[in-house]
Chain A
């Protein structure tokens, strides 16, 4: 099914701003320094205005005209929301951007129309619904996307079957094939006005003159070549939905619905022996907007209580952003990333292990605090202390087998960024004797070190200086990279203790004698 909204920009603005409702409206655009009309409402067209006209001319023709500058990104985004809202009719919705960035909508209604008591009733229902909202719209249901587009633009709204597709298309002008301006111009010069005439014409000269694109469009319209659409929303196989006769708006009501839907979804999934990891909640607002809420569980699940619980926590986090507008008339809960989940027997012989409870706790924390707030440590094979451990979200898949790192003396706490300190130490090998850190002086009475860690030249895009090769042999390949300075990257780590017993981990970046070695405090020992 294709829906065509020829006056989308003006209709949308009139709906968004009721003050414009009964005024003639035109949108202009700055093209090469001139102000030209980019969108018009039907009254404007009747009064002799046309697209691309100079703004001054248009004002002269019709002085009462209200004009606005066109805001294409905003219109595009609004049309995207509008398209998403149509997923309450069919899950596969996409915006056709072949000719214009907004105004054309295509829905795949295979296997959906019976929910609306047939194709014809579905079409009229959707069109009437939009007209009631103040949008001028025409639509068509056809076997191919190209044909539906053509008919929605150039014929009255109707359902076309395979039998009368050819006769109807043949009568339409060539512009119905979504062609480029230049191609249309040439076709008119050739005297080919309708699709029928074009189809009678031999194909080879056409291809030579217009390239393959013309023939592809022709074949797509008649279904010789398959055309694909990219749905805006991810396709979900498993979902449960509920429509409301009266719109609901309270978050609590939504959450209660979510629980009911989760129970329904569980039955579907259970029958297939599946569980899911990602859950998406779609709230369809009365004023054609869709709010989506997605979350992930740490392990595959289908437990309705747990799912409802996660959405409950997520909603608390979004309290301020939640805006039901004039109400929500449909709620859909979808599950993706499904995987096998066999039924598990619980009972006398099961071993009580805490892992499941821990996973659930992590899910709850993540759903409210965000995935980057609940972390676990992953050890990395690196010499630099700050690289040797990194924090990853607990939900980030299976734990990698820990690398067998040698257990070194390392502090229990590490500062995220080493802090520069002033340290007095004997040159070159003495232990640090005093330190100034955060404005306080510490007298260091004990120390251990240095533990020397070399810089990792392979991380910085630097080149290691190799031994001078044999001059007789050809020189090996050398990448054009700055040469690695081993002195600057080297760190000497010390464990130090002050007179009161606080124990720190400090290091000196760079060697004495190199440019300017600096001291940093990096961590705290117990």
Chain B
């Protein structure tokens, strides 16, 4: 019996057991990554991803990383991306800029900007948006730390997000890491950009190094060197010490929050 065949049968057996138990199938069964070797895997919706950047200077990079993923989640049913920011932090971090979004390839009308006054409102607005089934993704940006943004709050958000299959990107700054219930935690570090086609002195396509600090995605790869392209990311070089030989393991998907029959969450 060859290895893939065996895996398939195992998966089928797992499904059967889950059906008998009236419990959702194991998370990975539902969320096979659409990943090709050598490319960044297309992450399923319903994940909470934390993206840590060093400071305000890299806020463009983390927003671009989140937007690139959010762009692939836009459908006619889920047509809008929400961006939540504390109003007083806007002066420091800047605000998403319409013509810049057009340049990036996103229609500015698809992005709703919510500026909240304090952390309570921030959590409320984020949760309210997460609860809406017509939202493609939420990008929430917090610069400082807050007592309210603790494990309980992030657990609430992640349950909501996976129940409604809305992706939530938390853009955070600094080196401090707080405990949270997010599924993935990235650290983004901009790299020297690629070569500009017509001008050697000009910055080319944006490149970032992404370290996965928490969670697991295909190939158990922890370190990525990505280049921004029109429709997603491209890997431009493999960091040393990581080969292609490792077996493809499934993407860690959002653990379904509802203990119901799995057909009910197929929608």
Binding site for B on A (CB under 8 A): 352-358, 360-362, 364-365, 368-369, 372-379, 385, 388-389, 391, 394, 399, 402, 405, 407-417, 431, 437-438, 442, 445-448, 495-497, 499-504, 523-526
Contacts and interface: CB of A to CB of B under 8 A. Distances in A.
A526 B64 contact: yes
B174 interface: no
Interface stretch (B105-113, B216-224, B242-250): B105-113
A172 to B, nearest CB: 59
B188 to A, nearest CB: 10
Given A358-B80, A413-B60, A415-B91, A373 B115 contact: yes
Contacts of A416: 90-91, 94-95
16 contacts: A354-B134, A355-B134, A358-B80, A361-B135, A364-B128, A369-B114, A377-B96, A377-B108, A391-B113, A410-B100, A413-B94, A416-B94, A446-B193, A448-B203, A500-B190, A501-B207
A447 B206 contact: no
A417 B91 CA distance: 7
B203 A389 contact: no
Given A365-B114, A369-B125, A354 B80 contact: yes
Contacts, number: 200
Given A354-B134, A376-B109, A413-B95, 18 more contacts: A361-B128, A365-B125, A369-B121, A376-B113, A377-B101, A379-B108, A385-B99, A412-B64, A413-B59, A415-B94, A431-B201, A447-B201, A448-B203, A495-B202, A501-B190, A502-B57, A503-B203, A526-B61
A417 B94 CA distance: 9
B125 A414 contact: no
The 7 residue pairs across chains A and B that have the minimum distance between CB atoms: A354-B134, A526-B64, A524-B60, A389-B98, A357-B134, A501-B190, A448-B202
A411 B102 CA distance: 10
B60 A501 contact: no
User: What's the dominant secondary structure at chain A's contact region?
Assistant: mixed
B228 to A, nearest CB: 6
B78 A354 contact: yes
Contacts of A446: 192-193, 201-203
B67 interface: yes
A372 B125 CA distance: 14
Contacts of B124: 368
A406 to B, nearest CB: 9
Contact of B103 (A402, A408, A499): A408
A86 B108 CA distance: 49
A356 B109 CA distance: 16
Q: How large is the interface on B (under 10, 10 to 19, 20 to 34, 35 or more residues)?
A: 35 or more
B121 A368 contact: yes
Contacts of A373: 87, 114-117
Contacts of B228: 526
Given A407-B102, A447-B201, A355 B108 contact: no
Interface in B108-157: 108-109, 111-117, 121, 124-125, 128-129, 132-135
Contacts of B30: none
Given A365-B128, A375-B115, A413-B63, A502 B94 contact: no
A355 B78 CA distance: 9
B132 A357 contact: yes
B176 interface: no
A523 B112 contact: no
B30 to A, nearest CB: 21
Q: Which residue, of A356, A372, A373, A501, has the highest number of chain B Cβ atoms within 10 A?
A: A501
